[in-house]
Structure 1
Amino acid sequence: MRVLITGGAGFIGSNVALKLIEKGYEVTVLDNLSPQIHGNNPENSELYMSIKDKVNFILGTVTSKEDWKKALKDADVIVHLAAETGTGQSMYEIEKYVDTNIKGTAIMWDILTNEKYSVKKVVVAASRAIYGEGKYYCNEHGEVYPVERELKDLENKDFAVKCPICHKNVKLLGTTEDSKIHPTSLYGLTKSVQEEMSLLLGKSINIPVVTYRYQNVYGPGQSLKNPYTGILSIFSTRIKNGNNINIFEDGKESRDFVYISDVADATILGIEKKEANYQSFNVGTGVNIDVLTVAETLKRLYKSDVKIEVSGNFRLGDIRHNFADISKIKELLGYEPKYNFEQGMEKFVEWVNKQPVEQDNYEASILEMKAKGLYK
């Protein structure tokens, strides 16, 4: 079987590609080798080198119809991972995110709808960002879906999530796939449109679609160059440069961190199992880890003496918490994460310790967000 992976030289894509090759699949990769991910010499990046000469590589972009047509030749399955990522950056690089995430996907479906290709399934990388703040429980109103936190509360250092009806603090619940879709960032909005577009159009032309709402993916190969996404890599680059770690809000904000190998396995289940067709799945661990714990774990594993500073600063559009309810993917596809947080972190740190120390661009990214009024 021949699989096309868009964004296949990226973090998730390269790991999926290598696992597919091991299983005997033929893989084509369409990727633009973005400097934000791959650095100033992208053709020498570790991610690209890991797949070089193992796949049919096409240097191109999903915003080009001609590049799509070249990549789609003889493809049986598309794994559509190419996207601009990062919630903060999406709030001011609006056209860039819409062009790549929405228009790029629209071009794919336009071609599949109007021309003849051999594609039999499309797997789409969605995101947990489509849920916004996710699902919570209010003592008075039961299950609720809070809206974006109010600026006045954040400025008063009240970071708790509130009931949208009574404005009282609420209890976090695992977000299920049937939860309300209401993103709080442009990134989340583009991923929501991308997912809904794919499910709708796949049904209209009888091409099964599977969408994956990935949680916070981490592990070896994660870009250490990108200061806009991935707090584990951001914190690691800070530590390696001897710079203190700045933690937003009160450090109790939390995420569901899922190891890259588990994400690749889940993605391949979507290719291989009919039970996945026309379904959306959460991909995570079902456990939330707070950011202060992340920083302290990294500091311990790196044996570092940098300071951890809980600043009370915040970014507009950031959610407070999230963790996935993964019951559906367990039951339908037999997915079971193999790595817990400590195991995954040990492997991640072991890998980082073997990498050259990257330039720390975190402060520049903060100044950029401040200039846009998105960092308080």
Structure 2
Amino acid sequence: MQNILITGGAGFIGSNLALTLIEKGYNVTVLDNLSEQIHGQNAEENSFLFSKIKNKVKFIKGCVTSKEDWQKAVSNQDIIVHLAAETGTGQSMYQIEQYTKVNVGGTAIMLDLLANNPHSIKKVVIASSRSIYGEGKYWSDELGSEVYPKHRTDEFMVKGDFEVKYDGLSQPLKLLATDENSKIHPSSVYGITKQNQEQMIMTVCPTIGIAPVAFRYQNVYGPGQSLSNPYTGILSIFSTLIRNGKDINIFEDGKESRDFVYIDDVVDATIRGIEKNEANYGIFNVGTGEATDVITVANELIKNYKADTKINISGNYRLGDIRHNFADLNKIKNTLGFSPRYNFETGIKKFTEWVLTQDVIESKYDESISEMKEKGLYK
């Protein structure tokens, strides 16, 4: 199976995946709309990500919401890696139609096409997300069992109490890694759309003779990620603020944490899903298995940039954000032999070295915050 279609293949994950697949001898087709939010203006001439794959892949400028674009892209392909999606937890809470149309609607068009027309597709790999776990999994000493807290609410966060709660319990909960059998309960529209994408593909593909594989990516970062998109990726958001000489405003108390996974590890895991039959019909977490809090992120960036940026822990918060999440990697290790090669300290060093080679981009962070304030999502 030599012909691979990557939707969103000019994006951060997609372009890195495409280059590695080309090196391995695959023929790669990319379907991408070169979104201005990700690539900036005049992307075909100016986008760093697009320039990496330009003239190296068969490129189709189009959108996953177009049946005609899908028909052109799917022709003579063996595998689809479906990465194209609107991303951004906060933005998804008010651009609801757009996120649903692209993420769910685009996936529906693909599956409808595969179910009702001749094709040569044998495997579909879908980019799912850690966001589908919502507030994640915890341990309660009071109950002596695992619990899955509901979404956090204004009632507590407005008082500066940001930890998750579980009805009827008074003692603090202990954070656990989310494994693939953890409860699915997303707390944002983005998370809901990723859940729907995953479930549609894992449900439909086996009925039409296609092997599905789902990867629940944690927070992916590294050289090449968009420095101009103020809606995703605190490493790029903070980096752009630092390089513009602005201070960093940290939400909540700064102790909220994520599992940051380096781009090369994500590409490695994804290729294992493409190439290994053991991956077929499976759902896998992709991360480092370690939680890093936001204060640590900010301090590491400032250290690497040798900046004198001030950190303001503001107590502000966004509705729809989760408190913590990190991945249990036992399944992907045991099934696909995947282990991350980059820890956070090593990965962030490589990321900041790349950022320093890029032009300083005007920060649009304040505009994104104003949007969320207007919608009542930023407090």
Same fold (TM over 0.5): yes
Residue among 82, 85, 89 paired with 2:84: 82
Amino acid at match of 1:40: Q
Amino acid at match of 2:246: N
Give the secondary-structure state (helix, strand or coil) at the position aligned to 2:6.
strand
**2:270 counterpart of 1:267:** yes
CA deviations 1:62-83 (Å, max 9, x no partner) are 0000000000010000000000
Alpha-carbon deviation of 1:359? Answer: 0.8
What stretches of structure 2 of length at least 5 have no aligned partner?
none
The answer to whether the 8 Å contact 2:48/2:224 transfers is yes
The answer to whether the 8 Å contact 1:162/1:168 transfers is no
- Give the 5 Å matches for 1:57-76: 57-76=59-78
Give the secondary-structure state (helix, strand or coil) at the position aligned to 2:237.
helix
Q: Which residue of 2 aligns with 1:15?
A: 16
Alpha-carbon deviation of 1:123? Answer: 0.1
Alpha-carbon deviation of 1:220? Answer: 0.1
- How many corresponding residue pairs? 376
**2:158 counterpart of 1:155:** yes
Separation of aligned partners in 2, 1:164 and 1:285: 31
Q: Which residue of 2 aligns with 1:126?
A: 128
- Give the 5 Å matches for 1:1-376: 1-43=2-44, 44-141=46-143, 142-166=145-169, 168-376=171-379
Separation of aligned partners in 2, 1:252 and 1:332: 33
The answer to whether the 8 Å contact 1:288/1:323 transfers is yes
Separation of aligned partners in 2, 1:150 and 1:52: 46
Give the secondary-structure state (helix, strand or coil) at the position aligned to 1:50.
helix
Separation of aligned partners in 1, 2:249 and 2:171: 29
Amino acid at match of 2:110: M
Amino acid at match of 1:366: I
Amino acid at match of 1:177: E
Instruction: State TM-score, norm by structure 1.
Output: 0.99
The answer to whether the 8 Å contact 1:249/1:313 transfers is yes
Separation of aligned partners in 1, 2:112 and 2:22: 29
Instruction: State TM-score, norm by structure 2.
Output: 0.98
CA deviations 1:205-254 (Å, max 9, x no partner) are 12000000000000000000100000000000000000000000000000
Alpha-carbon deviation of 1:151? Answer: 1.2
Separation of aligned partners in 2, 1:248 and 1:61: 34
Separation of aligned partners in 1, 2:164 and 2:326: 14
Amino acid at match of 1:75: Q
Amino acid at match of 2:104: I
The answer to whether the 8 Å contact 1:145/1:164 transfers is no
Separation of aligned partners in 2, 1:169 and 1:162: 8
Amino acid at match of 2:76: D
Separation of aligned partners in 1, 2:163 and 2:115: 46
CA deviations 1:335-362 (Å, max 9, x no partner) are 0101000100000000000000011000
The answer to whether the 8 Å contact 2:142/2:171 transfers is no
Separation of aligned partners in 2, 1:305 and 1:168: 39
The answer to whether the 8 Å contact 1:254/1:289 transfers is yes
Alpha-carbon deviation of 1:169? Answer: 2.4
Separation of aligned partners in 2, 1:333 and 1:277: 11
Separation of aligned partners in 1, 2:206 and 2:128: 17
Separation of aligned partners in 2, 1:165 and 1:127: 30
What stretches of structure 1 of length at least 5 have no aligned partner?
none
Alpha-carbon deviation of 1:150? Answer: 2.2
Farther off after superposition, 55-64 or 164-173: 164-173
Give the secondary-structure state (helix, strand or coil) at the position aligned to 2:215.
strand
Alpha-carbon deviation of 1:164? Answer: 3.6
